[in-house]
Amino acid sequence: MTDINNLIEFAENGEKDITGLNQTNGFPAALKPARQWFNFLFNSLTSKINEVIDQVNTNKANIESIASVLPGATVLWCAPVVPAGYLELAGQAISRTTYSALFALFGTTYGVGDGSTTFNLPDLRGEFVRGWDHGRGIDAGRTLGSYQADELKSHAHDILTNDDELGIGRVTVGGPPTSTTYQTGSTGGNETRPRNIALMYIIKT
């Protein structure tokens, strides 16, 4: 107990000046007495232990952050490289066993894969995502995960003109009714879309 008590006493009250002591030069007796060697080692070990503890805490926080995201959670990713623990939603076939959590969630909703060992992820490349109607009645008849083609809402256009411009000419009273179809010109691209930005959809595995 005497040795332990001496160590405790020194740690609490011993000289803290460790000038000249370092791991490169060693601990020569000419510089400091043995008790200060111990103090130097104690301080060095404490510093290293604290560094390790800080790193462990950082890693623990990162792991907990990743683990807190539920499998199947879909997020928009702003970088071209998919992070660990995620997959790009590109319609690819993946293993039913390796990604059993995802297979349990939506099975073959987005494709049967090879029919036995794989299944498909949804392909969200180049797609806009719309909230599932789920009984609201705005986009009725849709199932979760179903695709929908582009479409314009039904509408009409007015044409302002006069008889001479349309080439109607003379009309005989009592004659048979006539009708003429006119078509407006077209302009634009190959789809209807709002202003947008391209990002990557990824899913937690």
Q: Domain 69-129+197-205 is of which CATH architecture?
A: Alpha-Beta Complex (3.90)
pLDDT band at 47 (very low <50, low <70, confident <90, very high): confident
CA distance 138 to 140: 6
Q: Which residue has the higher pLDDT, 31 or 182?
A: 182
Q: Which of 16-30, 70-84, 155-169 has the highest mean pLDDT?
A: 70-84
Read off the pLDDT of each residue in 144-154 and give the average, rounded to a whole number: 89
Average pLDDT over residues 15-35: 58
Q: How big is the chain by its Cα radius of gyration, in Å? A: 38
Of the two residues 24 and 38, the one the predictor is more confident about is 38
Provide the residue ranges of all domains of the chain, joining segments of one domain with +. Answer: 2-67, 69-129+197-205
Between residues 184 and 4, the one the model is more confident about: 184
Would you tell me how many other CB atoms lie within 10 Å of the CB of residue 26? Answer: 9
Neighbours of 99 (CB within 10 A): 18
The Cα–Cα gap between 12 and 7 comes to 9
Q: What is the pLDDT of residue 27?
A: 55
Confidence of residue 131 (pLDDT cuts 50, 70, 90): very high
